[in-house]
Structures are given as C-alpha cells and as structure tokens.
Chains A and B, each alone.
Chain A
Amino acid sequence: MTMPLGHIIILPIVLPLFVGAVLLLFRDQNKVAKAVATGATMAALIVVSIVLLFLTGAGADNGWLGVYLLGNWSPIFGIVLVADRTAAVMLTLTSVLGAAAMIFASARWNGAGPHFHSLFLFLIVGVNGAFLTGDLFNLFVFFEIMLAASYGLLLHASTVAKVRSGLHYIAINLVASFIFLIGVSLIYGVTGTLNMAELAMRAPEIADADRMLFEVGAAVLGTAFLIKAGMWPLCFWLPSAYSAAVSPVAAIFAILSKVGIYVVWRMSLLIFGLETGPSAGLAQNWLLIGGLVTLVFGSVGVLASQSLARLTSYAVIVSSGTMLVSIGIGGVEVAAGAFYYMVGSTLALAALFMLVELIERGRMAGADVLAVTMEAFGFEDEDALPDEEEVGIPIPGKLALLGISFIACALLIAGMPPFSGFIAKFAILTGIIGINAGETGVPIAGADWVAVALLIISGLAVLIAMLRGGINTFWATREDMTPTIGVVEIVPITMLIGACLALTIFAGPAMGYFEAAAAELHNPVAYVDGVVSSTWVPYPGRGALP
C-alpha cells in the first residue's frame, strides 16, 4: 500500500472494535454517553465508507483496488483485506443502516439489556470484516464475530419468544459454522491456499482427480452461506428469529442475510467465473432453482403472515430470493440491477422493521390476527356502519407520517414506481430478457420466463400483503390509535427512506456505479492481479527482511 490514504481500509474494522471494547469498561448506566460514542463511531464509519466509495470508483474502467496487507506480510503467507467497488457499496450500506438502527435504539431499546452498544459495534465489525476480507478463513472468523454479536442482540431484552427462537437460531448457525469449516478445509486440502485471489488462479489448474473434491468443498461452503442468506429450504429459522428480535436489531439483521448473498456472489464469480475452465458456472442452475423456490416460499409466507413483523421477515426472504435468482441467471446487466435492488430493499426492509414497532405500539394484542381471520372467514366488522353524525375525523400528524412511511416502504419492497425498487426490478427484468434475446437472437430459456413471472408475482404478493396490513392498521376504527413516538425514532426511518429517495433521484450515477461494480465482479482479473501482485512495504532503514 503506497498511498497514505490506504490505511483507511482497516478503519471499518478497527474503529468499531476499539470503541466497542472501550465501551465495555463503562457502566451501562451511562446510556447517553454510550449512545453518543456509538453514534459518533457510526458517523465516522459513514464518512470512511463514502471516502472508500469515491476512491474505488475513481478511474474509468479499473478503479482503485485497495489491498491492505495485515502485518505487512506478503499476500501468499499473510492475511489481506481487499476493498473494491462492491465492498465499498456494502460498507456504505452497513454504516448507513447501522447509524439509523443506533439512533432508533437510543430512544429506549439500548437500556433493555446489558452492553447493547458494544454488541452492536461488534456486529458491525463482523459485517464489515466479512465484506473486506480476502481469504476464506478470516471470512469464517468475521462471520463468527458477527454471529456471536447477533446472538447477544437477538436475546436482548429477553422474553420467552426471544429465547425460544434464539435457541434455534444459535443451534442452526453453529451447525452452519461447522459446515463452513468442512468446506474451507476441503478447499484447502485440494488447492493448498485460502487466499481467494490465489484460489481463483489455482482453480483452473486442479487435477481432474481432485476436481470433484474441490467442487464438493465449494458446494459445502456455499450451503453454509445459503443458510445465512435464507434460501429455501434452509430458511425456516429466519422468520421467527427476525420477528422475535427487538426492532433496531431486526433492522440491522436485514444486512446479515445480505452478507450470505454477497459471499455467494463474490465466491461464485471469483472462483467459478469465466476463466476457470471445467468448473465454470458450477451450481449456477441450483442457485437459480433455489432462488425461484425461495421466491415462491417468501411470497406465500408474506401473504400468510398474521403480524407485520412476520410479514417483514418473509419480505427478507423474498428479497434474498430475488438476489439468488439474479445470481443464478448471471450477466452484468442483471447483476447491476440486482445490486441496486439489494441496496434499496435492505434499506427499506430495515426502515419497515423499525416502523412496525412504532405502529404496533399501543395496539391491542392480537389485532393483526383478528384482521386476517376476519377477512378469511368473512366476519363483518361489528361497527362497520358509519356514524352519521361524524363528518370526517381529524388525522393525527404522527399517524399520517407513519402512514406515508409505510406506503413508501411498501412501494420500495414490492418494486412499484416511483421509487428505487421499481427501477431495480426493471433493470433486473430487462437484463434477463435482453441477456439471450437481445443481441444473439437466441430465444429466451424457459427458466428465465419463470424467473420473470415469479419476480413480478412476488412483488404483487408483497404489495397485496402490505396493503392489507396497512388498511387494517391505519384505516381501522380505533380510539387509542396515536402511539407515543419520540423524534429520535421517526428520524432514522425518514433517514432510510430518504436514502432510498436519493437513490431514486440519482439513479443515473448510482446505476453507473453499480454497473461498474458488477463488471468488476464478473471480470475478476483485476482483483486477482491486484491482490497477488501487491508487495509488502520495506521497513525504513532495514530494507528487505532476510
């Protein structure tokens, strides 16, 4: 790393780690000071990730590739961190999401259990590390940091429901970690390296006798990530865990499933990309099929959900399914659209998780169940007849704000105009249709048509489910409606929706960036060369080591 700004790559990991560790030393009663410290860290992380965004985006075709050699070892022996456009986008997404969730939590949730802020920052460490790391074993380590923090956060403000779903969540993720290790060790046994760039170089040269073992290793590894990403049939833990967590935690969990997606994406393109010979495109069909089934499962789940929190959890699965379908189909155009979709939908899902808590606050328990069962069994609302004397009712300002945010989230997640969700889905669909028919004149494959249909239908399902939930929530005749909401709780939601709005307004430049990132992912030569050719810095006055 020659440029002095290069050290910025390590900051997204070191900064929250350090602050989180220091905060452990102070008593939990200093809630305000801790919240301020965490908020400042998240703000700094936003700045750092935006700087990285500009750094990696600079240059026309091949942007700046940040390679950071930890401990100044050469990349063959040591551990590397790699920052490219994709990583920069994911880091920015994480820090914006983290900041919003942190602001939201500072209203009340950070006091509901011990060491909320430290756990939160450690989660950020794990997520950022997983995005930046350049070798498989550290991916495991950062995954475990992320998961350990997420266990603590899921159990935050323990209730029976949280402990019950937490038990399943931990057991499943522990098994997933073991599967991860089996995959890593199989790959190491065959190739003798864990560095992802070197792995990409060696993958085409594997002897035929060992190739099967290598592919099995990669498939086992992929299974571990797909458990986190929530691909059907590995996603049954997800709805209960996400809907049991307190809302700011659920909001930040929205990024966890995207970490799984990100790793599958990067690994499949890096190691099984175009130039890797016999193993190229391994399991891409399985990702497509899995994604399609996940879409169906998520859509059915969304429609069947009887509470808004559960509905949002199933929307996370729909979002994962859309991403998996896009990865399975492949192609730079589809990937660019999928990227755009991932950023927009993650922000919107997080906003919705927080919004749901505000909406549910002050509602009578079981109102959602009643609303759905009333519809299903055709029960009439008892006081459905309008009161003749009342001409219009005053709409409380807070409720209007909640309603508008809810509509914005619904449109974003379902992929309806005018928000970024629509542009993203449109980009994915044109990518799929154009990929075969446009240039080559080859008819579009049947699976692609199924994908197109399911992508549209899943959007419709989300829209129907959210409309129903919204009508039953906001148009219901209830006296005790106006919930008590602090400013710090509505600000992060508007912040996230505002980010989506900005993504819509600046769709041109954003899409350009995502296209460049997708092209970079699909052509990993620059990545591999950048990592392998990076050299350690000579020590001042000592020259080369012996």
Chain B
Amino acid sequence: MAIAVEMPKMSDTMEEGVLVAWLAEEGDSVSAGDVIAQVETDKATMDLEVYDDGVLLKKVVDEGSGVPIGGLIAVLGKEGESADDVLAKYGGSGDGAATEAAPEPAATPEAAPVSEVVAPGGDGAPTAADGGRVKASPLARKMAEEGGIDIAALSGSGPEGRIVKRDVEAAMRGDAPAAKAAPVAQPLAQPVAQPVAQPVAQPVSAPAPVAAPAPTAGAEDQKLSQMRKTIARRLAQSKFTAPHFYLTIDVDMAEAMAFRSRLNKLGEAQGKAKVSFNDLVTKACALALRQHPAMNASYLEDEGVMRYHREVHVAIAVAIDEGLLTPVVRHADRKGLSEIAADTRELAGKARDRTLQPQDWEGSTFTTSNLGMFGIEEFTAIINPPNAAILAIGGIRDVPVVQDGELAAGKRMKVTLSCDHRAIDGATGAQFLNTVKGYLEQPMTMLL
C-alpha cells in the first residue's frame, strides 16, 4: 500500500502551509528523515521531512499551492506501485469515480485537486455554538493524540457533534472529510470573515460577482502569504475581542542614556553585546512584571480561567519585509542586560532570515513594540494574544522641561501601554507603568 505524505502542523497557529519548493522528483528514492520539500507556514519556511522509506510516486501539489493541515502533499511507495488508492482516498467524495476511472488513472485526481478541498480561515459561521470548544469523547481524544490527528479538524457524528471513536477511526483510515468547512477550533471566525476592504480586483478569467468592484488600472493583486493571513487573523481577533485601553506616560531618559553609554563602554572592553534602549525597556518591563503579577496574565475565556504566569517571557516585535514577528526573550526578569542584548540580537537576526523555530516565538507573557527608531513620538499597539498587555515605545526626544523653575533641555520618551480590560484594570496598568518608569529613570536600580 502506498503511503500518503500529509501537511503536518508545524506551528500552533498554522492552518495551512504553502508548498514553496519541491526538493525531490517523482521516481526519486527517499529515506525516513529526507527533506523532500520546503513549506512556508505563517511564521517560517520549514523543511518537510518524510517518515518512511520509499520512492516518491507522485507530487500531488504544485509549487506555490496552499495545503491545509492533513491535506495530501505527496505519495510514497515501492517502485512501480500505483498511487491511485491514496489519491482516491484524498479525492474527497470518492464514490465510484475511482473505480470507473481506472483505465485513465490521471483523470480522477486532477479533476479534484486535494489542495482545493478546504479553504481554512473561516468564510462561514462557526458550527459549534460552544465557544469553539471541540466536543470529543475521552477515548476519541486519546486516540487522536496517539494517532497524531488534529481532533479539531474532524467532524463529530455523536450527539451535538461530539467526536467519537468511529470518527477518529474513519480519519485514521483516511475516508473521512479531512476537515469541516468551518473549523470549530476557530472561535473568532466571524469578525475575521468580514474583511473591511473588498479585494480591489478580481482575476480576469473568473466571472466577477455582482458586488465586486471593477478592476482598477494600476493595481496589482498579490496572493496573501501565510504570514500575512495569520497576522491579520490574530490582530483582528485581539482587537475585536479584547477591549483595549491605553495608558501613556512620559519617561525621563537622561539617566538611562548616561547609564547606557557607561555600560557599553565597560561591555565593549569585555566583548559583550551592546545594550540598546530597547534592552533597557525589556529589562524594566520584566522586573515590573515580576512585581505586578496581575499584568503577567492571560484571560482565557474558553477555559474559564485567568492564567497567571509564573515565568516572565517578554516578546519583542520585529518588523521584517513580509510582516511582523514576535520572538521571545525567555526569563527576561532573570537575565542580565548584556544577556538580554545578546538574545535579542540573535532572535532579530533569525527573524530576518526567517529561521525562527516555534520555540523562539511561543509562550510570551508580555510584548514590547518599538517604533522609536522611525521617529515615531508615540503610538498605540494591538495586544499580542494571549498576553494581557503590550508596551508601545516611542523615540527619545529633546524637549524643554521646567526644572527648579528654570527652563532646561530634557530627554523624554513616551511609552503607551495597551491593556486587555478583561484581564487588567486601569489602576493596575498605571501602577505597572510607574514601576517601569521608575526603573528607566533610575536604571541602576535594575541591577539591584
């Protein structure tokens, strides 16, 4: 029996992967662990390994095609073996068509390309009314976990759509619909499903729907990348579900500037990474989070809990050409400034090379975003879920200040904290912000 190579789930937020490049050809012999293709996820371009030995019988998808998790990518088998059985299984409805088409095997699979079976991203209302909770029997959950099946992608045949043993068995046999039209695991499909802007142009070959605007000259459509789709979905989810409020404070950065240049002079001699203002802010936030545990939290409605994180992991927003990534400086509260500087530099480099791995971006408890280097004085950021807050950092300005009744030159930086009001109240956010300000205005205290 030939073996199906399916799209794996390569990150927590991944729903679909794009096959960027084939690295093996049909007829090639492959062994378990060989990389046969590259797949672009929402976060990175990753290698697709095979888990079996055999011959690559069929490349099912073309380069550039998106495939949902669990979708068929390729078929492996013995030399000369037919891929038809596997193709028929993944062909969707697969009734009768496969047997009738036997004399001309190529026709069936191509008539129903697997990559088109499901369009994730929720262009329908969610089917489960239960806040997106997947209903499954304990046994079905265990079987799915052991079988490496994403239970959220199955359709349940039990009461109220409960996924039961027979559904998982069907999925293991491969004769169940790979996924339902609107995945239940996506509670926020509704807001996302109503895009604010209509696409500006329709492909010419397709008959334009009545409501679609006419193609405009001088516009160009670019297929959404996985990363852009994910950013759009997650930011919309955050902004539409978390009631944001914003607190801005002005920080006197004179001490911090002097402190930083002293520190870097000392560090240079020891060959340490240069500490940036951003590193100072990261450290200040991490220490403040430890003092204000209410800020280091996640509001998890589905689970009915407020989760207070015992560890402090600060994510740093990094802009790259394709979008935005948020690698995480782990245990930032326990790290020294030059260690934070080194971590940040390494993570930013990986982000730009798109070589970040899931462990680099998962598990943040707080996020900072800095646009100071672009001359932005102040701005508000959208919370990076499931964090409860994000700090938007503006640039340091020379400003006139009144000191002892005299006008003087001062260095000021505005930071704005966006808080999820479900998790954090105004006073909590304000106290946290004052602690951050205190650290930055007396940076030596961060070393205590």
- Report whether chain A binds chain B: no
